[in-house]
Structure 1
Amino acid sequence: MATKMYAGKPVEVNDEGFFLDKEAWTKDMAPEIAKEVGIDALGDKHYDVIEYIRKRVAAGEQLSMRGMGKSGVVDLKEFYQLFPGKPLKYATRISGVPKPTSCV
């Protein structure tokens, strides 16, 4: 475990940078986390995905690539374009939620 500073606030994260407490996250932290994973700027569609992820996690649902593609928020192609490389891993990390079990 480590402590990182985002938007001027200390946050406990695991060794991969995922928040240990999703309640510690604020929207102001998202751009800083995005830069750590190589995304320079977040647009409205990024925030739509982040909001969707946070709602699903709050409801106790498991996240998956297939589920994201069927979400109605983005299709898989757009998900990869918004969060290149490892879309589910990067999107959940930027969203301030714990690492999904489906992420390797």
Structure 2
Amino acid sequence: MEKTIAGKSVAVNEEGYMTDLSQWSPEIANELAKESNLELSPRHFEVLEYLQTQYKNEVPLTIRRVGASGVVDIKEFYALFPAGPLKISSKIAGIPKPASCI
């Protein structure tokens, strides 16, 4: 399916996760963040960049792995992305929902 985000038509699945990372942009990330009532800071983008890199390298993402990454600890991860940090941050990063998320 297609969804218009930040004025661009992007491919998404039924849950609203982008299916083509090449369509991602910081503007799209900001729009997706607004849907979760978040205002993105440079710190958020550091975490999003880490998630995208892990996804490109086919590393399965879990909250524990993100917390051990050295990029962000678990406490800060929850502070940056409350109410399901891995699920929300993955959506904003333009990557599929991790298998570890329900």
Alignment length, in residue pairs?
102
> Which moved further from structure 2: 12-21 or 43-52?
12-21
Give the TM-score of the pair, scaled to structure 2: 0.95
Aligned amino acid, residue 71 of structure 2: V
Q: Which runs of 4+ in 1 moved over 6 A?
A: none
Q: Distance in 2 between matches of 1:61 and 1:44?
A: 23
| Gap runs ≥5 in structure 1 | none
Residue 67 of structure 1 pairs with residue 65 of structure 2:
yes
Q: Distance in 2 between matches of 1:60 and 1:92?
A: 14
Identity fraction in percent? 45
- Residue equivalent to 1:33: 32
Q: Distance in 1 between matches of 2:12 and 2:100?
A: 19
Cα distance per residue 1:1-25 (max 9 Å; x no partner): x321122110111121101111111
Aligned amino acid, residue 15 of structure 2: E
Residue 46 of structure 1 pairs with residue 44 of structure 2:
yes
Residue 19 of structure 1 pairs with residue 29 of structure 2:
no
Q: Distance in 2 between matches of 1:83 and 1:62?
A: 19
The offset of 1:27, in angstroms, is 1.5
